[in-house]
Amino acid sequence: MAVFAANWKMYKNLAEAAHWASAVAAAPHPPGAEVWVFPPFTALHAVRAAAPGLLLGGQDVAWADEGAYTGFVSAPQLRDAGCSLALVAHSERRRYAGEHDVLAARKIAALWRAGLTPVYCVGEEQEDRLAGRGAQRLAQQLEAALGELGGQPPGPLVIAYEPVWAIGSGTPATPDEASQAAALIRERVARSLGPLEVRVLYGGSTSPGTAAAFLREPAIDGLLVGSASLDASTFLAMLEAVRTDG
């Protein structure tokens, strides 16, 4: 069952969000496909009202369930807003908000406490890739965060592999590179958390022309789509490319 996850980042007003959601919900999807949407917090209700069948996610979450934390949004608040998921440690959160892997572990735990699914984002920088230490960097991110959690997790886990060098570049990783990273991710998750059915998404300059190739890889369970998800027609073209593939 393929996942198509749209991360809108800091785009869309309420009318634009509702229009996108209505258009995507009404269009044909590949058999068994799941569409997840990560709107800005301000647009969560608009998407939920326009397309209640789409799975909603928060773009971030606080580590605490409540408290004097101005500007933060907790996992119980996300659940109350209709969310089933939330992104954790997206590369832009790491870059601009200084998030680190130990903080990511606290956020993952907060989501599990609320009954939500964490989507933990990992990925190597261009300098890691050029130096041949991309796999090492992925392993560090996974072990630093998941090693903090201890024991069998109380809920599902999704890992989004987003090579930072590919995001917004127009040049994605190859399907084989993404598949190798997914295999490493599953091995490291098992090492930290024991046997766990983890879903792995690929994100990084995906497009209608590349979506089907990534999803032909058995190790890739879906796509986390950034800029190509902003226009409903482009996002739907990705779903259509997969629906008609083969």
Bridge partner list, 4: 35, 223
Using CA atoms, how far apart are residues 225 and 114, in angstroms rounded to an integer? 25
CB neighbours of 22 closer than 8 A, spacing ≥ 6? 50, 51
**Of 92, 99, 124, 162, which is the active-site residue?**
162
**Of 90, 92, 99, 240, which is the active-site residue?**
90
Q: Is 100 a catalytic residue?
A: no
DSSP letter, residue 150: -
Q: Is 197 a catalytic residue?
A: no
Q: What is the DSSP secondary-structure string of 23-64? A: HHHHS---TT-EEEEE--GGGHHHHHHH-TTSEEEES---SS
Using CA atoms, how far apart are residues 207 and 234, in angstroms rounded to an integer? 8
Residues recognised as catalytic: 90, 162
